[in-house]
Amino acid sequence: MPDPTIRVRIAPSPTGPLHIGTARTALFNFLFARHVGGTFLFRLEDTDVARSTVAYERDIIDGLHWLGVTWDEGPGIAGDGDIGPYAPYRQMLRLGFYKAASDRLLAADLAYPCFCTPDELDADRKAQEAAKQPPRYVGRCAHLTAEERAARLAETGRPPATRFRVRPGVVGWNDLIRDRIEIDTANLGGDFVIVRGDGTPLYHFVVIVDDAEMKISHVIRGEDHISNTPKHILLLEALGHPIPVFGHLPLILNPDGSKMSKRKTQTAVDDYRAEGFIREGLINYFAYLGWSPGTEEDVLTLDEIIERFDIDKVQKGGAKFDRGRLEWLNGQWIRRLEPDDLIDRLRPFLEAALDDGRIDRLPSDEDVRALLPVVQERLPTLAAIVDLVGFLWVDDLAVDPALIVPKRWDAATTHEGLAAAREILSAHDAVTWEADELEPPLRELVEARGWKAGDLFMAIRVATTGRTATPPLFDTLVALGRERTLGRLDAAIEALVTVAETGR
């Protein structure tokens, strides 16, 4: 079943934290490879030295691993050495390959040194824009004699860039998900730079040198690369390399339909992680952005997605990012987690809450486990745990007395109700402090007084938790404990005296 001829890659550039778009593209490559038993590799495109950082490298590598998108070749997990037959997998460590390739092109006159200065290029651009012409390199250095080159060098005083000659004609390919695409090279913007004046190679060049060297069979990437593909094919051709199969994925869009941007959509995977989105939810959601199994299944594990993945079923049109749907899927997955697993995953969020003072102490694993039956189905995200039941671990609960009085009751009734409830609850000892034991006597109280259970329960709820929405009341009181419950009731009763006297 393994197919050694299938080799795909994700090649992010470490110029920012792991982006949702990168994660999705990585996932699709990963799914494609895993489904057929091919190889998935990770390569760092770090030739933009000015913007690349090691911190971003780590973020991307860690984030992808966290999601479960792991590679067969590439940097090791802990930042240790690269693994695989084509190591190293980071471009700044592969400069020799690019130098050799550009020398070959230069020697064959398929590329040439370009002495144009940024100012000259800028002026060209402006003139073209003014003339409503598409921007393109004018070819100033395309046919210089040796003497002219020497003169230009002396004149500009800076080392030349290397420009690739774009041959006339039409370049086409059979796109994996869009069928035939053909582009006239006249529309490519003229000869393009493949190596900067400082000797560092540019994206279009390194990507094909590495893809060829690493025997990439399928290049699966975002739709935004469609117009780059002819350049890549031309380069591959000039170097005599085989042309891989190209497949262009639909883009993830902002809700307004534009290409996803940090400004309009939260794009860092880290940020979702920090909010308590779990990998299962994120992966499930990403997979369904532009793909579906063609069945009516919605909630699938990574393995199930791998099993069903079919590149032919990938959508062509872009998909708007829908956070609401992500939240729903995340909730689905949180509900499916095993207790031990969920407790582990909740831990960091509880610790964070302790750190910033939203709670005063940490519950034990057993405390959390006891809560799970009533809490698990109420968590859209892991971080929501603090919002939901943080009041359990707060020492001094600040409750607005006005909030304690249920809609249909006045302060005096509420005071009376809470006092009576306090009396009944205090009769329980630590042993009978169980939900099943606490509820019946309070129901009897309500019955005797002709009250509505909901009113009394709401008063108790707010008095003991400070909130009008909580997990089931008696489970909550059990979690709170006898002493704290009685203490909070006392505080509320006292506060109500004041309110009653002041007249609300």
Partner RNA sequence: GCCCUCAUCGUCUAGAGGCCUAGGACGCCACCCUUUCAAGGUGGAGAUCAGGGGUUCGAAUCCCCUUGGGGGCACCA
- Applying the rule CB under 7 A, the residues between 29 and 68 that interact with RNA are 45, 47-48, 51
Give the integer Cα–Cα distance in Å for 429 and 415.
23
**In b/e form, how buried is each residue of 410-424, taking b as 16+ CB within 10 angstroms?**
ebebbbbbbbbbbee
Contact 283, 63 (CB under 8 A): no
Q: Which amino acid is at 81?
A: G
State yes or no: residue 193 binds RNA (CB under 7 A): yes
Q: Binding marks (x or -) toward RNA, 256..275, rule CB under 7 A?
A: xxxx----------------
State yes or no: residue 75 binds RNA (CB under 7 A): no
> Whole-number minimum distance, CB 186 to RNA, in Å?
8
Q: Which is nearer to RNA, 14 or 38 (CB)?
A: 14
Residue whose token pair is 């859209």:
380
State yes or no: residue 364 binds RNA (CB under 7 A): no
State yes or no: residue 441 binds RNA (CB under 7 A): no
Q: Which is nearer to RNA, 65 or 196 (CB)?
A: 196
Return the residues of window 369-388 that contact RNA according to CB under 7 A: 377-378
Which of 171, 210, 241 lies closest to 93 in space, CA to CA? 210
**In b/e form, how buried is each residue of 222-260, taking b as 16+ CB within 10 angstroms?**
bbebbeebbbbbbbbebbebebbbbbbbbbbbbeeeeeb
Q: Which is nearer to RNA, 4 or 255 (CB)?
A: 255
Return the residues of window 462-501 that contact RNA according to CB under 7 A: 468-475
State yes or no: residue 442 binds RNA (CB under 7 A): no
Beta strands 82-83 and 74-75 are: antiparallel
**Which of 17, 331, 401, 466: binder of RNA (CB under 7 A)?**
331
**Residue 182: Cβ-neighbour burial (10 angstroms; 0-12, 13-18, 19+):** exposed
Of 103-111, 211-219, 255-263, 357-365, the window that binds RNA (rule: CB under 7 A) is 255-263
State yes or no: residue 356 binds RNA (CB under 7 A): no
**Which of 121, 153, 243, 486: binder of RNA (CB under 7 A)?**
121
The DSSP bridge partners found for residue 388 are: none
Active-site residue, selected from the candidate residues 126, 262, 313, 316: 262
Q: Which is nearer to RNA, 63 or 361 (CB)?
A: 63
State yes or no: residue 278 binds RNA (CB under 7 A): no
Of 78-86, 326-334, 389-397, 411-419, the window that binds RNA (rule: CB under 7 A) is 326-334
Residue 7 sits at φ, ψ, to 5 deg, of: -135, 120
Q: Got the DSSP string for 277-298? A: --HHHHHHHHHTSS---SSS--
**Which of 103, 322, 360, 444: binder of RNA (CB under 7 A)?**
322
Q: Which is nearer to RNA, 144 or 181 (CB)?
A: 181
Q: Which is nearer to RNA, 126 or 361 (CB)?
A: 126
State yes or no: residue 320 binds RNA (CB under 7 A): yes
Could you tell me the two tokens for 379?
């968590």
Give the count of beta carbons closer than 10 Å to the beta carbon of residue 291.
24
Which of 239, 224, 159 lies closest to 197 in space, CA to CA? 159
- Give Cα separations from 316 to 70, 248, 379 (angstroms): 26, 8, 34
> Whole-number minimum distance, CB 495 to RNA, in Å?
21
Q: Which is nearer to RNA, 147 or 296 (CB)?
A: 296
Q: Which is nearer to RNA, 226 or 497 (CB)?
A: 226
> Whole-number minimum distance, CB 234 to RNA, in Å?
14
Of 222-230, 358-366, 422-430, 492-500, the window that binds RNA (rule: CB under 7 A) is 222-230
Residue 262 annotated to the active site: yes
Structural Rg of the chain based on CA atoms: 32
Of 32-40, 55-63, 92-100, 178-186, the window that binds RNA (rule: CB under 7 A) is 178-186
- Give Cα separations from 344 to 64, 335, 354, 463, 479 (angstroms): 20, 14, 16, 31, 19
Measured over the CA atoms of residue 250, residue 256, residue 262 and residue 268, the dihedral's sign is negative
Q: Which is nearer to RNA, 184 or 483 (CB)?
A: 184
> Whole-number minimum distance, CB 491 to RNA, in Å?
20
> Whole-number minimum distance, CB 103 to RNA, in Å?
17
Report the half-sphere exposure of 64 (CA within 13 A, side-chain side): 34
Q: Binding marks (x or -) toward RNA, 447..466, rule CB under 7 A?
A: ------xx--xx--x-----
Of 1-9, 67-75, 182-190, 346-354, the window that binds RNA (rule: CB under 7 A) is 182-190
Report the half-sphere exposure of 477 (CA within 13 A, side-chain side): 30
State yes or no: residue 105 binds RNA (CB under 7 A): no
Q: Binding marks (x or -) toward RNA, 126..165, rule CB under 7 A?
A: ------xxxxxx--------------------x-xx----
Beta strands 192-195 and 218-222 are: unpaired
Q: How many helices (H) and strands (E) does the chain have?
A: 20, 13
- Active-site residues, by number, are 262
